[in-house]
Amino acid sequence: MATTKLSRDPLRILRALLAGGAATLADLAVLALLVSAVGLAPRVASIPALVVGGIVNFLGNRHFAFRASRGSLARQAVLYTVVELAALAANGVLFDVVMRLLPPGLAWAYVPVRLVTSHLVFLAWSYPLWRLVFRMPRPAEAV
């Protein structure tokens, strides 16, 4: 019996959230490492951390969340990169704006700020477009 689209969506969303959780952990680990161990300012460390998170996210979504590993890797990678370049810009700008608005004594709040701003971008931009990027063609129906 074929699974309906409605019954698949909650599972796909859950898997995308788990893949996003892994990407967020990678992002935060790199961000914390660059800020705490290397001494970079959070706003400077933000970009490489987002890139690492993006790579983890692509792999997690392609193979786990959307189960689209049979799809064209090149097509998915190009479309995902286009979506995520815009998301990277939105994440970077939104994170920067919020960090600038915080009083200097709250500079330590870069981790919760990253969590809030990146999830806003995920909900409003990334996930809706990933559904198109990782959409698998339907098999031809039997006659």
Q: What is the pLDDT of residue 5?
A: 53
Total tally of structural domains belonging to the chain: 1
Global pTM value = 0.68
Rounded Cα distance between 102 and 122, Å, is: 22
DSSP class of 71: S
pLDDT, tens digit only, all 143 positions of the chain: 444 454 557 888 789 889 989 998 999 999 999 999 999 999 899 989 988 998 999 999 999 999 999 989 999 999 999 998 999 899 999 999 999 999 989 988 998 998 899 889 988 898 889 999 999 877 664 44
What domain range includes position 52? 14-133
* Residue 76 covered by a domain: yes
* Residue 142 covered by a domain: no
* Residue 63 covered by a domain: yes
* Residue 9 covered by a domain: no
Q: How far apart are the first and last CA of the chain?
A: 17
* Residue 138 covered by a domain: no
Name the residue among 45, 22, 53 with its Cα closest to residue 110.
Answer: 45
Strand locations in 1-143 (E): none
* Residue 65 covered by a domain: yes
